[in-house]
Amino acid sequence: MKKADVVTFFDRLAASMPEPKSELEYTSPFTLLVAVVLSAQATDAGVNRATQKLFPVADTPEKILALGEEGLKDYVKTIGLFNSKAKNIIALCRILIEEHGGAVPADRETLESLPGVGRKTANVVLNVAFGQPTMAVDTHIFRISNRTGLAPGKTPLAVELKLLKAVPEDRMLHAHHWLILHGRYVCKARKPECPRCVVNDLCSFKQKTSEQDFVSKPPKASRRKS
């Protein structure tokens, strides 16, 4: 995608979503970190349902450690991979207390050293909690970057590095959320809603949908055997 088109691309996303925000519910950098760890291979809505019960009871490393691994599992057992996630959260709480005074570090290297925290999770925390211009490439951003021609790449890291170069500097802070929300609600995986896409004309996707694709068809009449 040409540089001028990239500028227009993000100008339009910004106009359609002036103040994009994470759909994960959190009250502090720590609760955000826990929520993002829990969100791996899970939906934000599913995580929120669990943390709405967890965080009023335990919203600090000390309080979650007091629950213990089994106690934590009771709150997150509705989330996929909850056993390993609970184990990692207990371990990272212990490290935060012992090595960081209970505070969430604001640098990528330290974040990635925590159990259950990979590059994507670290990028989300740095962007959302600390306002750093990072790009966390999830399935939505990976799909949009390749489908539209915005920043094609074979791996999430390749896409991330291309986006960091392509996205206008004044749009970097919110670019991550614009792309995620656009992918979640418009540029969907199976059936993108191209007719209502604000960047339709800038997109290089060859199999764009039309209004007709979203017209409901009457059910077929059942056939009775005589």
Look at residue 217 in the predicted model and tell me its pLDDT: 61
Architecture of the CATH domain 3-19+135-207: Orthogonal Bundle (1.10)
The answer to whether 73 touches 87, Cβ cutoff 8 Å, is: no
> Quick check: 221 pLDDT over 80?
no
- Write out the binding residues for [4Fe-4S] cluster: 187, 194, 197, 203
Domain 29-128 = CATH 3.40.309.10? no
Structure tokens that stand for 104 in this block: 């969430």
Question: What DSSP string runs through the chain?
Answer: --HHHHHHHHHHHHHH-SS---SS--SSHHHHHHHHHHHTTS-HHHHHHHHHHHTTT--SHHHHHHHHHHHHHHHHTTSTTHHHHHHHHHHHHHHHHHHHTTPPPSSHHHHHTSTT--HHHHHHHHHHTT--------HHHHHHHHHHSSS--SSHHHHHHHHHHHS-GGGHHHHHHHHHHHHHHTS-SSS--GGG-TTGGG---SS---GGGGSPPPPPPP----
Active site residues: 120, 138
Angle at 165 between CA 163 and CA 166, to 5 degrees: 65
Instruction: Identify the pLDDT of residue 218.
Output: 58
Average pLDDT taken over every residue of the chain = 93
Domain layout of the chain by residue ranges: 3-19+135-207, 29-128
Q: What is the pLDDT of residues 153-188, one digit of tens each?
A: 999 999 999 999 999 999 999 999 999 999 999 999
User: Which tens digit of pLDDT belongs to each residue from 66-120?
Assistant: 999 999 999 999 999 999 999 999 999 999 999 999 999 999 999 999 999 999 9
Return the higher-pLDDT residue of 58 and 21: 58
What pLDDT does 225 receive? Answer: 46
Cα 31 to Cα 82: distance, rounded to the nearest angstrom: 16
Q: Which residues are annotated as a binding site?
A: 187, 194, 197, 203
